[in-house]
Structures are given as structure tokens and as C-alpha cells.
Amino acid sequence: MSTTSLVPGLPSPDCSPRLREALLDAAFTADGLLDLLGAPAYAALARSETVPALRATRGDSALDTLVRLFLLQRPVAYERARAALPIEECLADGWLVRDGDDVRATVDVRPYGGPEGQDWFIVSDLGCAVGGAGGASGQGEGVVLGVGGASTTLAGITVRTPVSSALDLGTGSGLQALHAAQHATRVTATDLNPRALHFARLTLALSGAPEADLREGSLFEPVGKDTYDLIVSNPPFVISPGARLTYRDSGMGGDDLCRSLVQQAGDRLNDGGYAQFLANWQHVEGEEWQERLRSWVPRGCDAWIVQREVQDVTQYAELWLRDSGDHRTDPAEYAARYDAWLDEFDARRTKAVGFGWITLRKSGSDRPSIVAEEWPHPVEQPLGESVRAHFERQDYLRTHDDAALLADRFTLTAEVVQEQVGLPGAEDPEHVVLRQHRGMRRATKVDTVGAGFAGVCDGTLSAGRILDAIAQLLQEDPVLLRDRTPQALRLLVEEGFLEPVRS
């Protein structure tokens, strides 16, 4: 049962089934928007540019009406709205307000396509659907944002195996809870902001999803000692001097909020469970960022930490000052706030800030696998299955010594291709590259032995027998080749180029 109540001034979820039916009848969906607006206007809307969408919705269809109401947040004539919506229920429940002969929406409702083609709706504050009509600039501190790049990134990397229990920590408008409801028997969603919990309730109701257990409070405090099979969080990770905007600023010094989340997650995970976070972290003078983050990983957990981007402190400060609209304020006030950010970084000896993903898996191993890497290159979302497979490979490598590795059979992972690089007309390539076209899209250079091994690796012969055949072809000592090759094979398995054959 939820520990939160309805928030005054926000809609009630009571008429959500009728409202949802009306939205679907009008094709107010992700696909319907693209069809109505066309690709250029649809893309412009994602850049917060509304003029093309206004031009595209000059008609009088129900879909035109709904786009103007809920996405462009323009007043619409009462009679026109009545033709598209159960208007009296929407007015009574607070989704709309009457303004003379017009009605206006009280919240932003944004169509969102689920991973299996579901038609979902994300509800947020007016003008605060990220990349939507107004952006977040200039909004109050309790603002609740809609769908943004960070939230969709987290949804894409989350492991989606069926689980009994899932926790969405810092739920915001409820996107992660909505995804989790598709594969978790029980979903708990928490937030420090009671408005966010109300918006999450609206998002779930309007999307036709089961209710979640909504709890108000900070970090893990609302859930006590409860444990979960899956924990996800897109927290307010911005490293800033203070907590002016609750939707993004941590309110804790430096990256302490992200560190606390990671360190405390281990005790809230069931065996085999995953905790997945988006995070910012400081690059501190005199410290390697990888070692700093490895120290966050709780005992008994494997971890995969991926740094996707790094910004120096001036770039970082400017990004978030623009996000809050401070660049449009009085120049002296902007300069003072900019100076305060740099003072904060100086005090913490911070030279840059990293952004990326942190995934924990409760393995219970006394030899944990902790991988911290930089990967700024394009990836193919969704990555949830790639994340799950990464930890499965770590289990395999941890339990197989070199002799066991050579005794096993392997196959080349699907969508891996071999590229030969060299001068045109040359008899032999200068080097050979294996490249993935799925998931992380990694590439790795291999020598003649590695290329030969990958070329015949179809799961028929053991790795040792393949190496013996290669040794005979290259006229090498098979014992020496067996001795020096396992390390290279381990790397190919770890990075997902080779898969062990499961007997």
C-alpha cells in the first residue's frame, strides 16, 4: 500500500481509464504523433521548438486538439475539447481547467512507446517534458520532469529478467517504475518530492499499468531493511554548490549522493539481484577515477562501471547553469553563480566530472569482478541483455582456470565480423580486427592465432584442439601456443566476442 496521498492542485487518477481510451481512440501515441507531425516537426519538438508542430496541428481532428492541449500547452475551445475527451470528468478530476470558452491542460501528457509496442503516457509538470515544449529552465525547485535522455538511457540498460520485486529509487514521473511493472511482480517507487510520487501514480494509471507501492523519503530510508531483486535509480546526481533544484541537484557534497547509493545498495539486494544507476563522479587531482569508483563497490557485489562522457569543470558548470536558465538572468548574478560552482570544484580538488552507468550484481563472491572502463563510443540500445551477459561471462571466467578454458568449446558471438586492414594489393593484412555490430559495438585487434581461432570457432572442437591445429599450420610448438594463448582467449570472452558452449 502506498504511503502517499493525493497532492492538492494535481489531477486525480480516477478518470484515467476513460482518458486513456480517448487518447488511444484519437491515435495520441508515439506513432500517431510522428504520422501527424511528420519527421521534421517531430524532431523539432524534441529540441523544444514548437512552431513546426503548431503549424502541423491547424486542423480540427481529435489528435490535433490533444497535441495542442497536452504537448504544446495551448488553450483549446471547450466544444473542440469535448469532441476529443470525456471533458466533464477531466475537468472534475483536474486534468483540465476552464478559462472562459477555452480549456487548458494542467499537466504535460507525453506519448511514449514501450519496449514491446505498448502505448504509454508520461505525465509531468507543464513545460517540463525534457526536450519538450518548454524545457525545465526557470521552473520551481519541486518541478517534476518528463522523459529525457538520461531516463531513457537507464531504461535501456536495465536488465529485464522477470523478478519478484523491484525498487525505483527517486522515481520522478515514474518512467522506470512503469518499465519495471512489466517484469516485476511487486514494484516500489520512492521520492523525496511528494509531487513526483503523485506524477508517478498518474503515469502508471494513464498507461494502464499496475499500481506501485509509493513511498516518500530520501535514498533508502523509505524502504527500511526491505530487499529487492532489482534496484534502479536516475538520481539527482548533478554536482553543484547547494540543492537549489531538487530534480537534479544532490544536496550532498560533491558526488557523495551517488557514492552513498552505490555503497548502500549491496545490503538491499537479494542474491543474484541487480542495482543499476546513472551517476556523475568527480575526477580528483592525484586520484585515478577508476580506483576511486572501485572503492564505492559494496562487499559481495560484482560491478560494471562505464564512463560515457567527461567534461572539464567549466563545461560542466556551463551545462547546468544553462539547464536552470541562469544564462538568461542578470550578467552579474550569472557570473556570481558560475564563480560559486568553480569555488566548489576548487575546494574538492575536482578537475573534471565523469558521467556514466554503474551496475552492481549481488554475487556473494569473495573474488568480485569489478570492471571500470571508459567507453564514449556509440552503443546499440536496449543494452539490458548485454549487461546481463557481461556478468554471466564474469561468472564463467571466475570459475574456469586455463586448463578448463582450453577444454571448453566456444562459438563466435552473433553479429561479429572480421576486418582485414592493410595496403591494397598486399599479400597479407597488417592486422585483423574483430568488430561487434550489436550491444557495446566493441572492436579488438587480434593476431594470426586469434584470427584463425575465431574463424573456425563453431562450437565443434575444444579450444585446445583448435590451438593444436593452428600450431601445426604455423609450425609452432603446440605446448608453447597453449601456454601463451589463454590470456587472449579470456579477453575475447570477457568482451563478448566468444561464447562458451553450454552443455
Give the strand order in the sheet containing 96-99.
76-77, 102-105, 96-99
Residues 304 and 387: their CA atoms lie apart, in Å, by 8
- The percentage of residues in the chain with a pLDDT greater than 70, rounded to a whole number, is 95
Residues 406 and 453: their CA atoms lie apart, in Å, by 12
Contact yes or no for 280/352 (Cβ under 8 A): no
User: What is the predicted pLDDT for the residue at 2?
Assistant: 53
User: What is the predicted pLDDT for the residue at 241?
Assistant: 87
In the chain, the amino acid numbered 430 is E
- DSSP states of 410-435 as a string? EEEPTTEEEEEE--TT-SS-SEEEEE
290 CB neighbour count, 10 Å cutoff: 16
Tens-place pLDDT, residues 61-109 = 999 999 999 999 999 999 999 999 999 999 999 999 999 999 999 999 9
Residues 127 and 325: their CA atoms lie apart, in Å, by 13
User: What is the predicted pLDDT for the residue at 287?
Assistant: 96
Name the burial class of residue 403, with classes exposed (0-12), middle (13-18) and buried (19+) by CB atoms within 10 angstroms of its CB: exposed
* Stretches in the chain below the pLDDT threshold 70: 1-5, 128-141, 243-244, 246, 250, 427
Residue 28 C-alpha cell reads as: 495520441
Tens-place pLDDT, residues 443-471 = 999 999 999 999 999 999 999 999 999 99
Classify 254 as helix, strand or coil: coil
Residue 339 C-alpha cell reads as: 564563480
Classify 384 as helix, strand or coil: helix
User: What is the predicted pLDDT for the residue at 3?
Assistant: 52
Residues 310 and 323: their CA atoms lie apart, in Å, by 18
User: What is the predicted pLDDT for the residue at 421?
Assistant: 83
User: What is the predicted pLDDT for the residue at 363?
Assistant: 97
How far is C-alpha 367 from the geometric centre of its chain's CA atoms?
Answer: 28
Residues 503 and 497: their CA atoms lie apart, in Å, by 19
- DSSP states of 191-214 as a string? ES-HHHHHHHHHHHHHTTPPP-EE
In the chain, the amino acid numbered 333 is E
